[in-house]
Amino acid sequence: EHFNIVPLASEVIDQLENKAERKDLTIRFDQPYNSPIFVHADADRIYRVITNLVSNAIKYTESGEILVGFEVEGQKVQVYVKDTGVGIPPEHLSRIFERFFRVEKSRSKEMGGTGLGLAIVKHILEAHNTKVSVISTVGKGSTFSFKLPIGQGADGLEDGTVDTEEFEELEEEN
Ligand code: ATP
Ligand code: MG
Please enumerate in sequence order all residues whose Cβ is within 8 A of that of 18, keeping only pairs 6 or more positions apart, or say none: none
Query: Which residue's CA is the closest to the ligand 1 atom numbered 18?
Result: 102
pTM: 0.88
Q: Judge if the beta carbon of residue 54 lies within 6 A of ligand 1.
A: no
Q: What is the amino acid identity at position 81?
A: V
Q: What pLDDT is attached to residue 1?
A: 87
**32-47 pLDDT tens trace:** 777 899 999 999 999 9
Q: Judge if the beta carbon of residue 69 lies within 6 A of ligand 1.
A: no
Q: Is the pLDDT of residue 22 over 50?
A: yes
Mean pLDDT of 146-160: 63
CA distance 96 to 43: 24
> Cα(153) to centroid of ligand 1, in Å?
33
In testing the pocket of ligand 1, which one of 56, 61, 106 has its CB within 8 Å of the most ligand atoms?
A: 56
Assembly ipTM: 0.99
Phi, psi angle pair for 63, to nearest 5°: -155, 165
